[in-house]
Amino acid sequence: MSSVPSTMKGVIIDKTGGTEVLQYKIDLPVPAIVDGQILVKNDYIGVNFIDTYFRTGLYPAPQFPYILGREAEGTIVKVGGGDVYGLKEGDRVVWGAEGAYAEYASVPAAKAIKLPSALPAKIGAAAFLQGLTALTLIREAHPVKKGDWVLVHAAAGGTGLWLVQLLRSIGANIIGTASTLEKVDLALKAGATHVINYSHEDVKSQVFELTDDQGVVAVFDGVGKSTFDLSLDVVARKGSVISFGNASGAVPPFTIARLAAKNARLMRPTLFNYIATREEFEGYVNELLDFVLKDGLDARIYKVYNLSDVASAHNDLEGRKTTGKLLLDPSK
């Protein structure tokens, strides 16, 4: 059996606020596990916008102190009793649950999956949450078909780059938005058909020009408050606005009668409700890893930050400085 220490490095919050509430500790208790759980020594931890929502209080933390973070890859160092889906000590896994910003995490075995040996280090954590979000959105929130015209906001962001690559692989026509020239280039290289710099260009007129005045059949909008009206403006008759995030703030209360103008659908999905059963979880994770290993989709890593420097990671993500995935190294 691996020797597991009693304390670990980790990041907690005991109140909500700016990055000053992130407390790096070197003596947190290593969590205990119960039946159905595994203890994972994390190698790389994914940073996601949702972590900032729990930090600011936009999403309420279940308790304080609270360890942020929803995904990591690492090695199983202890296995609890009961059904652990065949996972064993020594297995390299990726997982999606709570309490990731730490050296060790107790994880429901149902939310972890063994990584293929061919998958290089970092890629499990880089791909998991954002890649699965993109995959489930285009399969279930609005099933996109070859030739469809769709719009992806923040197309050079972590989730945006996955959406663009996956949509490209099914032959959709992708209009992206991004705020800088560098981000526009990146989204084009990832496979977008056309990318609009929404910091100064007129998105609506370009979308209607590109789509023969029809609009797009689906808008994938993780930006939220600042793009919501635009998303309703550019969606086609009978199309879908998939509002899946709040990077610019939460979408304010909305009068549903506005949807009648185009018989549009509005949806507000979360990843965790698409991967709630083991069958859904395994199916989508394996499919995503196949896209990476067999089809060469790129889990673009922006930067690996030391866990002790987690505030810089949050500042960069919220400051729109990043493209692709931010990871934390819990050993530093």
For ligand NDP, the binding residues (CB under 6 A) are 48-50, 129-130, 133, 154, 156-160, 178-179, 183, 222-224, 226, 244-248, 269-271, 317-318, 320, 322
Tokens of 50: 């949702």
Angstrom distances, CA of residue 22 to CA of 62, 235, 319, 329: 16, 39, 17, 16
Full DSSP string of 32-76: P--TTEEEEEEEEEEE-HHHHHHHHTSS--SSSSEE--SEEEEEE
CB of 300 to ligand NDP, least distance (A): 10
User: Exposure of 19 by Cβ count < 10 A (0-12 exposed, 13-18 middle, 19+ buried)?
Assistant: middle
| Dihedrals phi, psi of 33, to nearest 5 degrees | -120, 155
Distance CA 89, CA 112 (A): 13
Distance CA 10, CA 30 (A): 10
Full DSSP string of 297-330: ----EEEEEEGGGHHHHHHHHHTT---SEEEEET
Residue 275 and residue 132 in contact, taking contact as beta carbons nearer than 8 Å: yes
Q: In 3-state terms, what secondary structure has residue 95?
A: strand
155 versus 172: smaller Cβ distance to ligand NDP = 155
CB of 77 to ligand NDP, least distance (A): 28
75 versus 226: smaller Cβ distance to ligand NDP = 226
CB of 146 to ligand NDP, least distance (A): 25
69 versus 160: smaller Cβ distance to ligand NDP = 160
CB of 244 to ligand NDP, least distance (A): 4
87 versus 247: smaller Cβ distance to ligand NDP = 247
23 versus 226: smaller Cβ distance to ligand NDP = 226
CB of 37 to ligand NDP, least distance (A): 23
CA 279 to centroid of chain Cα atoms: 20
CB of 190 to ligand NDP, least distance (A): 13
Residue 219 and residue 236 in contact, taking contact as beta carbons nearer than 8 Å: no
CB of 325 to ligand NDP, least distance (A): 8
Q: In 3-state terms, what secondary structure has residue 223?
A: coil
31 versus 224: smaller Cβ distance to ligand NDP = 224
191 versus 245: smaller Cβ distance to ligand NDP = 245
